[in-house]
Protein backbone atom coordinates (compact mmCIF):
# COMPACT_ATOMS: atom_id res chain seq x y z
CA UNK A 1 0.00 0.00 0.00
CA UNK A 2 1.28 3.46 -0.88
CA UNK A 3 0.59 6.35 1.50
CA UNK A 4 0.98 9.67 -0.29
CA UNK A 5 1.96 12.55 2.00
CA UNK A 6 2.18 16.24 1.14
CA UNK A 7 5.84 17.18 1.52
CA UNK A 8 5.53 20.57 3.20
CA UNK A 9 8.95 20.58 4.86
CA UNK A 10 12.07 18.78 3.60
CA UNK A 11 11.82 15.34 1.93
CA UNK A 12 13.87 13.76 4.72
CA UNK A 13 11.66 15.33 7.40
CA UNK A 14 8.55 14.01 5.66
CA UNK A 15 9.88 10.46 5.77
CA UNK A 16 11.08 10.84 9.37
CA UNK A 17 7.70 12.17 10.46
CA UNK A 18 5.44 9.65 8.72
CA UNK A 19 7.46 6.42 8.61
CA UNK A 20 6.33 5.52 12.17
CA UNK A 21 2.71 5.63 10.97
CA UNK A 22 3.56 3.27 8.11
CA UNK A 23 5.28 0.89 10.53
CA UNK A 24 2.31 1.03 12.90
CA UNK A 25 -0.07 0.12 10.09
CA UNK A 26 2.25 -2.70 9.01
CA UNK A 27 2.02 -4.16 12.51
CA UNK A 28 -1.73 -3.70 12.79
CA UNK A 29 -2.57 -5.11 9.36
CA UNK A 30 -0.85 -8.46 8.94
CA UNK A 31 0.38 -9.15 5.43
CA UNK A 32 0.18 -5.50 4.34
CA UNK A 33 3.16 -3.20 3.85
CA UNK A 34 2.76 0.57 3.77
CA UNK A 35 5.27 2.76 1.93
CA UNK A 36 5.39 6.55 2.44
CA UNK A 37 5.40 8.45 -0.86
CA UNK A 38 6.51 12.09 -0.70
CA UNK A 39 4.35 14.35 -2.85
CA UNK A 40 5.06 17.96 -3.78
CA UNK A 41 2.24 20.48 -3.93
CA UNK A 42 2.13 20.27 -7.72
CA UNK A 43 2.34 16.47 -7.78
CA UNK A 44 -0.56 15.40 -5.57
CA UNK A 45 -3.37 15.54 -8.11
CA UNK A 46 -1.42 13.55 -10.70
CA UNK A 47 -0.55 10.88 -8.13
CA UNK A 48 -4.24 10.51 -7.25
CA UNK A 49 -5.46 10.61 -10.85
CA UNK A 50 -2.95 7.94 -11.88
CA UNK A 51 -3.64 5.80 -8.78
CA UNK A 52 0.00 5.83 -7.74
CA UNK A 53 -1.10 6.02 -4.09
CA UNK A 54 -3.79 4.19 -2.13
CA UNK A 55 -4.18 6.61 0.78
CA UNK A 56 -3.32 10.28 1.02
CA UNK A 57 -2.49 12.80 3.75
CA UNK A 58 -2.80 16.39 2.64
CA UNK A 59 -4.21 19.73 3.68
CA UNK A 60 -7.98 20.38 3.62
CA UNK A 61 -7.79 22.84 0.72
CA UNK A 62 -6.23 20.23 -1.56
CA UNK A 63 -8.49 17.48 -0.24
CA UNK A 64 -11.74 19.28 -1.05
CA UNK A 65 -10.57 19.57 -4.65
CA UNK A 66 -9.72 15.86 -4.89
CA UNK A 67 -12.92 14.58 -3.28
CA UNK A 68 -15.43 15.44 -6.05
CA UNK A 69 -13.00 14.88 -8.93
CA UNK A 70 -11.61 11.48 -7.94
CA UNK A 71 -13.90 10.06 -5.27
CA UNK A 72 -11.34 10.47 -2.52
CA UNK A 73 -12.96 10.17 0.92
CA UNK A 74 -11.80 11.13 4.40
CA UNK A 75 -11.49 8.36 6.98
CA UNK A 76 -9.56 10.08 9.80
CA UNK A 77 -8.46 13.56 10.89
CA UNK A 78 -4.91 14.10 12.06
CA UNK A 79 -4.15 15.31 15.59
CA UNK A 80 -0.98 17.40 15.61
CA UNK A 81 1.21 17.28 18.70
CA UNK A 82 4.28 19.16 19.87
CA UNK A 83 5.38 17.99 23.31
CA UNK A 84 2.30 18.03 25.54
CA UNK A 85 0.31 20.27 23.16
CA UNK A 86 -2.22 18.61 20.87
CA UNK A 87 -4.86 19.88 18.48
CA UNK A 88 -7.12 18.63 15.68
CA UNK A 89 -7.12 22.15 14.21
CA UNK A 90 -4.41 24.32 12.70
CA UNK A 91 -3.88 27.69 11.10
CA UNK A 92 -1.27 30.04 9.73
CA UNK A 93 1.58 31.83 11.50
CA UNK A 94 2.62 35.25 10.17
CA UNK A 95 6.06 36.28 11.39
CA UNK A 96 8.82 38.80 10.80
CA UNK A 97 12.27 39.64 12.10
CA UNK A 98 12.20 40.56 15.79
CA UNK A 99 14.55 43.41 14.87
CA UNK A 100 11.62 45.18 13.16
CA UNK A 101 8.93 45.60 15.86
CA UNK A 102 7.07 48.14 13.71
CA UNK A 103 5.94 45.23 11.52
CA UNK A 104 3.97 43.52 14.29
CA UNK A 105 0.51 44.15 12.87
CA UNK A 106 -1.43 42.82 9.93
CA UNK A 107 -1.68 46.25 8.31
CA UNK A 108 2.13 46.31 7.98
CA UNK A 109 1.77 43.87 5.08
CA UNK A 110 0.77 46.84 2.92
CA UNK A 111 3.82 47.55 0.77
CA UNK A 112 5.77 44.63 2.27
CA UNK A 113 7.32 41.44 0.87
CA UNK A 114 6.09 38.00 1.94
CA UNK A 115 7.28 34.40 1.59
CA UNK A 116 4.71 31.59 1.65
CA UNK A 117 5.10 27.86 0.96
CA UNK A 118 2.69 27.52 -1.98
CA UNK A 119 -0.47 29.05 -3.41
CA UNK A 120 -2.36 25.91 -2.27
CA UNK A 121 -0.85 25.84 1.22
CA UNK A 122 -3.33 26.33 4.05
CA UNK A 123 -1.32 28.99 5.94
CA UNK A 124 -1.27 31.14 2.82
CA UNK A 125 -4.99 30.64 2.16
CA UNK A 126 -5.79 31.34 5.83
CA UNK A 127 -3.70 34.51 5.76
CA UNK A 128 -5.38 35.67 2.55
CA UNK A 129 -8.73 35.50 4.32
CA UNK A 130 -7.47 37.62 7.22
CA UNK A 131 -5.92 40.13 4.81
CA UNK A 132 -9.04 40.47 2.70
CA UNK A 133 -11.18 41.09 5.78
CA UNK A 134 -8.79 43.90 6.71
CA UNK A 135 -9.17 45.41 3.25
CA UNK A 136 -5.73 44.30 2.08
CA UNK A 137 -5.39 43.29 -1.56
CA UNK A 138 -2.96 40.55 -2.57
CA UNK A 139 -2.22 42.16 -5.92
CA UNK A 140 -2.47 45.79 -4.87
CA UNK A 141 -0.93 45.89 -1.40
CA UNK A 142 1.84 43.29 -1.25
CA UNK A 143 5.04 44.62 -2.79
CA UNK A 144 6.34 41.12 -3.48
CA UNK A 145 5.11 37.55 -2.94
CA UNK A 146 7.47 34.58 -3.10
CA UNK A 147 6.40 30.93 -3.01
CA UNK A 148 9.14 28.69 -1.64
CA UNK A 149 7.45 25.22 -1.88
CA UNK A 150 8.71 24.57 1.66
CA UNK A 151 7.72 25.94 5.04
CA UNK A 152 11.32 25.85 6.25
CA UNK A 153 12.49 27.90 3.27
CA UNK A 154 9.85 30.54 4.00
CA UNK A 155 11.38 30.90 7.47
CA UNK A 156 14.90 31.14 6.06
CA UNK A 157 13.83 33.86 3.61
CA UNK A 158 12.87 36.06 6.57
CA UNK A 159 15.96 35.20 8.61
CA UNK A 160 18.17 36.09 5.63
CA UNK A 161 16.40 39.43 5.18
CA UNK A 162 15.25 38.63 1.65
CA UNK A 163 11.60 39.24 2.59
CA UNK A 164 9.97 41.08 5.49
CA UNK A 165 7.27 38.53 6.36
CA UNK A 166 6.81 34.80 6.17
CA UNK A 167 3.81 32.54 6.76
CA UNK A 168 3.86 28.85 7.68
CA UNK A 169 1.45 26.39 9.29
CA UNK A 170 1.10 26.19 13.06
CA UNK A 171 3.64 23.96 14.75
CA UNK A 172 6.43 24.54 12.23
CA UNK A 173 8.22 27.25 14.21
CA UNK A 174 8.04 25.19 17.40
CA UNK A 175 9.38 22.13 15.59
CA UNK A 176 12.26 24.08 14.01
CA UNK A 177 13.17 25.50 17.43
CA UNK A 178 13.15 22.00 18.90
CA UNK A 179 15.36 20.74 16.07
CA UNK A 180 17.87 23.54 16.62
CA UNK A 181 17.12 25.11 13.23
CA UNK A 182 15.68 28.34 14.65
CA UNK A 183 16.33 30.64 17.60
CA UNK A 184 12.95 31.84 18.87
CA UNK A 185 14.05 35.35 19.80
CA UNK A 186 14.98 36.11 16.18
CA UNK A 187 11.35 36.12 15.03
CA UNK A 188 8.19 37.88 16.18
CA UNK A 189 4.69 36.57 15.46
CA UNK A 190 1.71 38.74 14.50
CA UNK A 191 -1.27 37.61 16.57
CA UNK A 192 -4.20 39.42 15.00
CA UNK A 193 -7.11 37.63 13.37
CA UNK A 194 -10.86 37.69 12.98
CA UNK A 195 -13.42 35.10 14.00
CA UNK A 196 -13.34 35.69 17.74
CA UNK A 197 -10.82 34.33 20.22
CA UNK A 198 -8.79 31.39 19.02
CA UNK A 199 -7.09 29.13 21.53
CA UNK A 200 -4.81 27.01 19.39
CA UNK A 201 -2.00 25.68 21.59
CA UNK A 202 0.63 26.80 19.06
CA UNK A 203 1.85 30.17 17.80
CA UNK A 204 -0.79 31.36 15.33
CA UNK A 205 -2.00 34.39 13.39
CA UNK A 206 -5.21 33.19 11.71
CA UNK A 207 -8.44 31.42 12.48
CA UNK A 208 -8.29 27.67 13.07
CA UNK A 209 -9.24 25.08 10.44
CA UNK A 210 -9.68 21.29 10.61
CA UNK A 211 -6.38 19.39 10.56
CA UNK A 212 -5.21 17.27 7.64
CA UNK A 213 -7.47 14.37 6.68
CA UNK A 214 -6.21 10.87 6.02
CA UNK A 215 -8.22 9.86 2.97
CA UNK A 216 -8.62 6.74 0.89
CA UNK A 217 -8.73 6.60 -2.87
CA UNK A 218 -11.78 5.10 -4.56
CA UNK A 219 -9.91 1.97 -5.68
CA UNK A 220 -8.81 0.85 -2.20
CA UNK A 221 -10.62 -2.13 -0.69
CA UNK A 222 -13.45 -1.37 1.73
CA UNK A 223 -12.25 -3.89 4.33
CA UNK A 224 -8.76 -2.37 4.34
CA UNK A 225 -10.21 1.12 4.79
CA UNK A 226 -12.11 -0.05 7.86
CA UNK A 227 -9.01 -1.64 9.36
CA UNK A 228 -6.92 1.51 8.82
CA UNK A 229 -9.61 3.65 10.45
CA UNK A 230 -9.83 1.49 13.59
> d(Cα 221, Cα 70) in Å, to the nearest integer?
15
pLDDT at 173: 95
What residues does each domain of the chain span? 2-78+212-229, 89-209
> d(Cα 80, Cα 132) in Å, to the nearest integer?
28
Angle at 142 between CA 140 and CA 144, to 5 degrees: 120
What percent of the chain has a predicted confidence (pLDDT) above 70? 97
Conformational region of residue 51, where left means phi above 0, alpha means psi within -120 to 50, and beta covers everything else: left
SS3 197: coil
> d(Cα 13, Cα 69) in Å, to the nearest integer?
30
Could you tell me which of 211, 209, 210, 225 has the C-alpha nearest to residue 72? 225
Given pLDDT bands bounded at 50, 70 and 90, which one contains residue 50?
very high
> d(Cα 217, Cα 2) in Å, to the nearest integer?
11
Look at the domain 2-78+212-229 and name its fold: D-Maltodextrin-Binding Protein; domain 2 (3.40.190)
Is the Cβ–Cβ distance between 218 and 72 less than 8 Å?
yes
Q: What is the pLDDT of residues 129-175, one digit of tens each?
A: 999 999 999 889 999 999 999 999 999 999 999 999 999 999 999 99
Conformational region of residue 70, where left means phi above 0, alpha means psi within -120 to 50, and beta covers everything else: alpha
Could you tell me which of 38, 75, 77 has the C-alpha nearest to residue 59? 77
Whether the predicted pLDDT of 179 surpasses 70 = yes
Q: What is the pLDDT of residues 189-217, one digit of tens each?
A: 998 776 666 668 899 999 999 999 999 99
Is the Cβ–Cβ distance between 145 and 138 less than 8 Å?
yes
Same fold, 2-78+212-229 and 89-209: yes
Inter-CA distances, 29 with 16, 17, 107, 226, Å: 21, 20, 51, 11
0.95 surpassed by pTM: no
Pick the CATH number of 89-209 from 3.40.50.2030, 3.40.50.1000, 3.40.190.10, 3.90.1170.50: 3.40.190.10
Amino acid sequence: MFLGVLCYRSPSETIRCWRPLARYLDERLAGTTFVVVRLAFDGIEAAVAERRVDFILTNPAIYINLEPKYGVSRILTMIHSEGDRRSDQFGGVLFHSAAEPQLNRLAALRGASLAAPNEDSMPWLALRREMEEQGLSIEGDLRALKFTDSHDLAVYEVLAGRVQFGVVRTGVLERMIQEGLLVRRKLAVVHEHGGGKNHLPFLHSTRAYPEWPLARLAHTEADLNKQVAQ
